[in-house]
Amino acid sequence: MGKDSISTDGAYLVIRDGQKWSDVFRLVPGRTVTIGRADTNKIVIREDKASRLHAEIFFTDEKWMVRDLGSRNGTLVGGETLQGDRRLEPGDVVHIASTELRFVDNLTNAYDAKGRSRNAAIANEALDETAQVEQDSKTDGGNYQVSEPQTITHRRQRPKILTESSDEELDEADLPPAGLAAKKICRLAFELANVRSLKKIADVALERLIKETGTDSGAVLLVPRNRRTTADPRRLEVLATYSKIRPEYQRVSKFLAETALRNGEAVLARDVQNDSALGLRDAEGKIYATSVICAPIRLAKRSIGLVHLYSTTEKVLDPDDLEFTLAVAETIGVALKTTYREQKLVDDLSKTKNQISLLRDQLGVDSEIIGNSPAMFRVHQQISKAAPSRATVLVRGESGVGKELVARSVHLNSDRKSGPFICINCAALSETLLESELFGHEKGAFTGATERKAGKYEAADKGTLMLDEIGEMSPSIQAKFLRVLEGHPFERVGGTREIRVNVRVIAATNRDLEESVRQGTFRKDLFFRLHVVQIDVPPLRERPEDVLDLAEYFLEKFKMETGRRIDGFSRQAIEQLKKYSWPGNVRELKNVVERAVVLASGSTIELDEVILTKLPATEQHAPTPAFEAAPFQLASLEEVEARHIEATLATTGWNKSQAAKALGIERSTLDRKIKKFGLTR
């Protein structure tokens, strides 16, 4: 049906959004049209000044009416604010926010109210679409918008453009030449993206070229990577060749190679029988090529190779073949760039691993310990000497210096590194629980033992067991543990079966074990059994060179955990960190940095955000109450008691059970005194 014969009887809203006509809406009697910002409206206006339910247009008594629905900014008709219901006449303009809705009974009358020229484009488009809309409306009485409907398509298969099918030739027959070439290049690029070797890239690209151009011979040649540029065909590296006929592929001429590699130009030559610079000669010296293409392969604006095709049959290569070959050559360049980059990354990673391995070999230790001070270097040397042996190791140092890291480093550099590394804190458990944790228990051995449990000693078989705070172990457990250390089997708590394991023991303590032996709280024979190899970990105040490295390490760690953007420490904050005595050692430094990251208000941690305690440093292995280390000053007995309890808690890392034992009071008494004096960690 022609455009002039389409019936346009009816009513329409021609919608103008800003400076352009945007849509045509057909009005159907019996269907109310709501207008507003909400998606549930028939006509949606995406403007803040439009209310969610702004106005409505409805048909009654053979006429179309408009009504404002209590909108915030009102509705205008003909420049006047709408009050109540109003009849719409052809040509009336309804204003809602900055949107105009022109009411017409014929689309050809959709002109501007101010007398500007009609918008022929939207009227013609609407007329074309209205014929089908009217027919659909008569069928089901629907209210249709005269615009192309939305369509959502779901697919799970690979894209058709990347998948060959039996109907390929039929599908490609409908494509223009440029679209067909683009499809083939896209498919080739996808294939090359999944290839990792240079030869495979060349093979795939040449196979595609031979198939699409119909030629019978060709090659992909590269300049050797150790030579920046060469145009000598004899020195080019042949990645792939192909030839359907005899003789086999003949190398590109020097003229074509120079044109592609030195000038970066692609060449198509036809009817070359009389041109020795372009043609190819057989054994008798006769030129037999009818046409030839040579295209450069570029990498970062430099020609690194070329694609060479020639035909010896009636097939004559044309400009379209040249364009396709040039596009393939560019695609090869991108694939080579990706491959070279991956190879470089692999090489760099391998070099880095070798360097790390070399440094570790030179140091003789695999370690997670941060620090390059002479004191820590001595620790690394001790670890490197102790790790290869099977001797028991005793790690000594103040609380918070990183004794567990030292023990882990010994494990990682021993022949047991593939086995488990298990750590147990002897001060954190009561005597009964410690025995169960160490040796395990059978079901029903004691109240709460609902099932059999293997102990830490058994779990560490063929690995390393670290006993932290070994000085807190009770005498009865010391006796049982000594027997196990001497190679005897053990039994689970409540069990009768003997268990033998192969475990290396590393003990750690911050106490003066010699003094404990003299006082009778630690067995002398166990001390000598543990004290085979000793590693002393220096406190942080004895290695100030490591403070900043540790602070930067913890800063990066907590930045990643919290997502905060902090550039570093201010100069004043750094000076404060360096001159502080760090009685809590690395553990205290870690907590200070974590607190600073949480409290930081800017991009730099300032001095007032580095919150430090006023506790003095203690001598290693011989904790001294804080009030004794400080100059004498008058104080009440209650103040002295508070400071003494606070110092003891700090020394034990706020382990209340250990502190109560050191103070000689019950745990509940310690809790009351902490509350009484208002002590905080």
**Amino acid in position 253:** S
How much is the pLDDT for 141? 42
Q: Count CA atoms closer than 13 A to 30's CA, side-chain side.
A: 6
Tell me the two tokens of residue 590.
């870690």
pLDDT at 145: 40
Q: With residue 515 as reference, give the H or E element that holds it.
A: helix 513-519
Beta-carbon contacts of 297 under 8 Å, excluding residues fewer than 6 positions away, are 220, 222, 303, 304, 305, 306, 307, 329, 330, 332, 333, 336
Of the CA atoms within 13 Å of residue 349, those in its CB half-sphere come to 6
* More reliable by pLDDT, 633 or 491: 491
Task: Answer yes or no: is pLDDT of 398 > 70.
Answer: yes
Half-sphere exposure of 605 (CA within 13 A, CB side): 29
Over residues 646-671, mean pLDDT: 84
Once rounded to an integer, what is the mean pLDDT over residues 409-430?
A: 89
What is the residue type of 113? A
pLDDT at 113 over 60: no
Contact call for residues 56 and 67 (beta carbons, < 8 A): yes
Q: How confident is the model at residue 156 (pLDDT cuts 50, 70, 90)?
A: low
Give per-residue pLDDT as tens, 260-318.
888 888 888 876 655 555 545 555 555 567 788 899 998 887 888 899 998 887 778 88
Residue 92 has pLDDT above 70, yes or no: yes
Instruction: Inform me whether the pLDDT recorded for 75 exceeds 90.
Output: yes
pLDDT of residue 365: 47
Could you tell me which residue, 656 or 125, shows the higher pLDDT? 656
* pLDDT tens digits, one per residue of 497-520: 888 889 999 999 998 999 999 998
- What pLDDT is recorded for position 109? 59
Quick one: pLDDT at residue 140? 44
Is the pLDDT at 137 greater than 60? The verdict is no
pLDDT at 33: 93
Between 506 and 107, residue with greater pLDDT: 506
Q: How far, CA to CA in Å, does 644 sit from each of 139, 580, 613, 648?
A: 94, 21, 15, 6
Write the pLDDT tens digit of every residue in 237-257: 888 888 877 667 888 888 888
Rounded Cα distance between 308 and 258, Å, is 13
Phi, psi of 379 (to 5 degrees): -60, -45
What average pLDDT does the chain have?
A: 79
pLDDT at 370 over 60: yes
Task: Please report where in the chains the tokens 């030579």 appear, as a residue.
Answer: 227
Map tokens 């067991």 to a residue: 465
What local confidence, expressed as pLDDT, does residue 26 receive? Answer: 87
Query: In 410-450, which ranges are E strands?
Result: 421-425, 440-441
- pLDDT band for position 18 (cuts 50, 70, 90): low
**Range scoring the smallest mean pLDDT among 245-259, 456-470, 606-620:** 606-620
| Residue 368: predicted pLDDT | 64
pLDDT per residue as tens digits for the range 324-360: 888 889 888 888 888 888 878 876 776 676 566 555 5
At residue 195, φ and ψ (nearest 5 deg) are -110, 140
Instruction: Yes or no: say if 497 and 445 are a contact pair by the CB < 8 Å rule.
Output: no
User: Which of 231-235, 458-462, 484-488, 540-544 has the lowest average pLDDT?
Assistant: 231-235
pLDDT score for 128: 44
The answer to whether 409 and 384 have CB atoms below 8 angstroms apart is no
Over residues 366-392, mean pLDDT = 84
Question: Considering only CA atoms, which of 426, 648, 622, 369 is closest in space to residue 510?
Answer: 622
Burial 516-551 (b: 16+ CB within 10 A, else e): bbeeebbbeebbebbeebebbbbbbbbbbebbeebb
Tokens 């009030």 belong to: 627
φ and ψ at residue 450, rounded to 5 degrees: -85, -10
Query: H or E stretch including 588?
Result: helix 585-599
137 phi/psi in degrees, rounded to 5: -65, -40
601 or 169, greater pLDDT: 601
Angstrom distance (rounded) from CA 418 to CA 437: 23
Residue 139's pLDDT is 42
C-alpha 385/C-alpha 410 separation (Å) is 9
- Give the pLDDT confidence of 559-614 residue by residue, as tens digits: 888 888 888 999 999 999 988 989 888 999 999 999 999 888 888 999 888 888 87
Residue 265's identity, in one-letter code, is E
**In the block, which residue shows the tokens 């395990």?**
440
As a whole number of angstroms, the distance between CA 34 and CA 66 comes to: 10
pLDDT of residue 286: 55
pLDDT at residue number 58:
93
Of residues 215 and 20, more confidently modeled: 215
Mean predicted confidence (pLDDT) in 365-376 = 74
The percent of residues above 70 in pLDDT, for the chain, comes to 77
Catalogue the E-assigned strands of 188-243.
217-222, 237-243
pLDDT of residue 142: 40
Minimal CA–CA distance to 555: which of 574, 583, 579?
574
CA–CA gap between residue 652 and residue 313 (Å, rounded) = 92
**Residue 213: band (very low, low, confident or very high) from pLDDT cuts 50, 70, 90:** confident
pLDDT value, residue 96: 92
The whole-number average pLDDT for the span 114-127 is: 43
Whole-number Å distance between alpha carbons of 289 and 522: 98
Which of 224-228, 324-328, 369-373, 420-424 is predicted least confidently?
Answer: 224-228
Query: Would you call the peptide bond into 149 cis, given omega within 30 degrees of 0 as the criterion?
Result: no
